[in-house]
Structures are given as structure tokens and as C-alpha cells.
Amino acid sequence: MTDEHIQPQASRNFETLAIHAGQEADPLTGAVVPPIYQVSTYKQDGVGGLRGGYEYSRSANPTRTALEENLAALEGGRRGLAFASGLAAEDCLLRTLLVPGDHVVIPSDAYGGTFRLFAKVLERWGVEWSVADSADPSSVRDALRPRTKVIWVETPTNPLLGITDIAAVAEIARAAGARLVVDNTFASPYLQQPLALGADVVVHSTTKYMGGHSDVVGGALITSDPGLGEELAYHQNAMGAVAGPFDAWLVLRGAKTLAVRMDRHCANASRVAELLVSHPKVTQVYYPGLPEHPGHEVAAKQMRAFGGMVSFRVAGGEEAAVEVCNRARLFTLGESLGGVESLIEHPGRMTHASTAGSALEVPADLVRLSVGIEAVDDLLADLSQALG
Ligand SMILES: *Cc1c(COP(=O)(O)O)cnc(C)c1O
């Protein structure tokens, strides 16, 4: 018996689970970190005699299992599943839950790739969707149809940092017989735990804060419904877009420092938001930590802190916004988010270009920051010079 068995895992605190859940010392060698099981198949002790249930690495792999158990613990769920990307996780989830003719409500400022998955891929397979302002639960209720099977929520949203009251929308979903899916990528499980607020499934792009070092692309699904967990695992294996062992290992390593990284991301982002609010070249700042943000109170209720993402609009329009992105030096011009290094981007021309002309189009003068964990004074100095 190791001391892991003395205290039930569920009673442990987040920071402890992040380091230990799913990761007992390797029984063979005592290695304190789960090995990268870079293997496709497993020797059977006689036909069907599997050791530990492993037969083929699409179905299950020990490194991935460690990550999946860790993710389930961090979100307070029963089942975690790790995928090759966030979009692979979303695709698996939607093809598990939906058949042609079903309807989905999606938020008006969803992640561009999520929107594209609905508008350009699933629509061809007969899935119907409509857009709601999920910051306003009555807008979600108005968008329901008799065949609404999924309500999709992202909070905070990308790139406008809109906030959805998860518990309020969970009630609407339950009354409608629909599943509530929450994309928790921006908050991470350290800041927000949607399952406890009534969500049925949590989605992550583990590429972002979970991995945290801009060195891996991955995705995850977590649910507390064991039946749904089984169905998702069935489809994960049937469709095959699983996380590879090394990618799973990188996300698992990132998870260990999630809490300390998020604390610094949040502290730095709130200083950045303060600077931007008082800057003459900035016409609007989107950060849920600001008291004037329309979702501030809901965010304060359902989040531990307000996250590391800040968006703002620049006086002078699109060209001025692009100029700010081009002038930044310490903030690296690039897509993605959630890594230790600060990033800057122009959503209209970069991450959200595919939403042009749709209800999800973003303002042309918008700049999005992923505030990293560098020394905050260096970040503030770089933004000041980029704004000119
Ligand atoms: C990046 C992202 C995704 C997609 O994840 P990938 O890992 O890039 O496939 C989904 N949702 C949000 C909020 C994201 O930021």
C-alpha cells in the first residue's frame, strides 16, 4: 500500500490532484513520473490475457490513461478522454451526441474553429445550428428548437471575453432535455469547474493553458455521467483521433504547474488591463476582471480569478490595430494562447478570419493578448511602446 491510498483522492485539493491524480509511481521501476509508453501493441498472456487492460494504443495507452485520469480529477468529473486536438475532441463529442436533423445552439462569439466545425463540416451532415448571445440566458432559451440536443457555451469567450452564467444555462438545458457543453479552455479547471455548475461535458483545447508551454496540440472531454463517458470512449476508439503518448505526457507535465501558472497569468493580465483602460489609444478593453465588464459579477461568482486573456480595441481602426500587433516585441505575434510566453494577435485577420461576414464576425480594430508569466513590468513597457 502506498500512502496514495490513505486519503481518498476526491478529498484532495486542486494543486495536489494536479501533481498526483492518475500518476502513482511506476510499479515496475518506481519512476515518479509516468513513462512515455511509446508503443502500439501489448503482449497478451494467452489469448485475451491482457495485462492491465491494454491491447492496442488507439483503444488505450498507459500514458494517455494517466492524463485522462488527471483531467477527470481536475474537472471533478468521472471520465476524462484525451484527443489529438481540441477540435478532434469537439468532433468526437458532437458525432456521439447528434444525428442528422438535430439542432445545436452556439454562442455568438465562439472560437473560430468551433464555428467552422458547425458551419462548414457538420452542416453538410444535416446538423442544424443557430447562434445565441449566451451572456444572456434568455437569448439561449429563445434559440431552442424541438430538436435542440446540445447547448454549446464558451466562457470566457474568445476573443471578446464574454461571460455566460453556467448554472443558469444548465437549468435551461435540463428543462429542454439538451446537453450543456462548456468549452473551458480559457478558464482552465483551476479557475472554473463547469461540471459542478451543471454542465454535462467539459471541452478543452489542452494546447492552451493545460499544456501551458506552446509545445503540444491536444484536446480533452470530461464528463461526470458514466454512461455518456462510455459512449464517448467508444467513439474515441471508433473514430481514432487520440492523443499520442508523448503529447499526453507533455499535457500531464503542464497540468502539474497549472495552478501556479494561472495565478501569475491572472495577476499579470489584470495589470495589463489596468494599463489599457487608461491608455488614450485604446477605445475599449475586454477583461472580466474589470468592474465595468458586463459579465464581471457572474465571473466573480463562478471563477476563482479572471484569467490571462485580454482583448482591446484601438483608436484609428483596423490598420492601427494591425500596427500595434506588428510593433510589439516581447509580446510575440502569433495565434494560440495559454503558454508561459505572451502573445499578441489580430483576430479579424488571424484566428477569426473564418467568421468574416457571419454573425460571429469580430471587430476589425480588435487586438487579443494572451498575457504570459514574464515580469509584468517588461510586458507593460512593451505594450506602451507598441501603442506608441
Ligand atoms: C484553440 C481552441 C480550440 C481548438 O483547439 P485545438 O487544440 O486548436 O484543436 C477550441 N476552443 C477554444 C476556446 C480554443 O481556444
pLDDT at 2 over 90: no
Q: What is the pLDDT of residue 9?
A: 58
Across the range 39-44, mean pLDDT stands at 97
pLDDT classification of 5: cutoffs 50, 70, 90:
very low
Instruction: Give the per-residue pLDDT at 6.
Output: 45
Assess whether 196 and 324 both reside in one domain.
no
Examine the pLDDT at 8 and tell me if it is beyond 70: no
Question: Out of 121-130, 235-244, 355-364, which region has the weakest mean confidence (pLDDT)?
Answer: 355-364
Domain check: are 106 and 147 in the same one?
Answer: yes
Report pLDDT digits (tens) over 310-338: 999 999 999 999 999 999 999 999 999 99
Task: Write out the E strands in 115-235.
Answer: 128-132, 148-154, 179-183, 201-205, 219-223
What average pLDDT does range 154-174 have in this prediction? Answer: 96
Q: Give the per-residue pLDDT at 32.
A: 95
Question: Quick one: 34 and 137 in the same domain?
Answer: yes
For the segment 275-286, the average pLDDT, to the nearest whole number, is: 98
Q: Percent of the chain having pLDDT more than 90?
A: 90
Nearest-CA residue for atom 5 of ligand 1: 86
28 or 287: which carries more pLDDT confidence? 287
Residue 145 near residue 103, CB atoms below 8 Å: yes
pLDDT given for residue 358 in this prediction = 80
CA–centroid distance, residue 87 to ligand 1 (Å): 6
Which DSSP symbol is given to 224? S
Last residue of a domain, one of 233, 256, 279: 256
Domain identity same for 247 and 280: no
Q: Measuring from atom 1 of ligand 1, which residue has the nearest CA?
A: 205
Overall average pLDDT of the 11-28 stretch:
93
Identify the residue whose C-alpha is closest to ligand 1 atom 6.
Answer: 86
What are the catalytic residues?
Answer: 58, 111, 183, 208
- Give the atom of ligand 1 at the shortest distance from the alpha carbon of 186: 13
CA–centroid distance, residue 241 to ligand 1 (Å): 15
pLDDT tens digits, 83-95: 999 999 999 999 9
Average pLDDT for 296-322 = 98
**Same-domain pairing of 265 and 251:** no
Count, residues in the chain: 388
Same-domain check for residues 300 and 320? yes
Ligand 1 pocket test, pick from 155, 185, 337 with the greatest ligand atom count within 8 Å of Cβ, gives 185
Shared domain check, 286 and 264: yes
Where is the domain boundary, 256, 282, 315?
256
Residue type, 26: D
For residue 187, give the CATH number of its domain: 3.40.640.10
Select from 256, 275, 293 the last residue of a domain.
Answer: 256
pLDDT band at 147 (very low <50, low <70, confident <90, very high): very high
Pocket of ligand 1 (CB under 6 A): 85-87, 111, 113-114, 154, 158, 183, 185-186, 205, 207-208, 217, 219
Would you put residue 138 in left (φ > 0), alpha (ψ -120 to 50) or beta?
A: alpha
Among 51-65, 103-117, 228-242, the least confident range? 103-117
Are 30 and 100 contained in the same domain? yes
Q: Which of 83, 87, 106, 350 has most ligand 1 atoms within 8 Å of its beta carbon, as the pocket-test mutant?
A: 87
- 3 state DSSP class of 269: helix
Spatial neighbors of 301 by CB under 8 A, at least 6 apart, are 165
Q: Considering the chain, what is the average pLDDT of its residues?
A: 95
Residues 281 and 218 in one domain: no
State the Cα–Cα distance between residues 334 and 325, nearest whole angstrom: 9
CATH for 371: 3.90.1150.10
User: Domain residues for 340?
Assistant: 259-387
Residue 1 — very low, low, confident or very high, per pLDDT cuts 50/70/90? very low
Atom number in ligand 1 closest to CA 207: 7
- Give the model confidence (pLDDT) of 195-223 as tens digits: 999 999 999 999 999 999 999 999 999 99
The reported pLDDT for the residue numbered 3 is: 42
Cα–Cα distances in angstroms (integers) from residue 277 to residues 194, 283, 385, in the given order: 30, 8, 16
Edge-first strand order for the sheet with 103-107 is: 79-83, 219-223, 201-205, 179-183, 148-154, 103-107, 128-132
Query: Do the Cβ atoms of 78 and 224 come closer than 8 Å?
Result: yes
270 and 248 within one domain: no
Q: Specify whether 158 is located in the same domain as 288.
A: no
Task: Please tell me whether residues 307 and 324 are part of one structural domain.
Answer: yes
Q: At what angle do helices 376-387 and 317-327 cross, to 10 degrees?
A: 140
Crossing angle between the packed helical segments 62-74 and 245-256, to the nearest 10 degrees: 30
Nearest-CA residue for atom 2 of ligand 1: 205
Cα dihedral 117, 119, 121, 127, rounded to 10, equals 100
Number of domains into which the chain is organized: 2
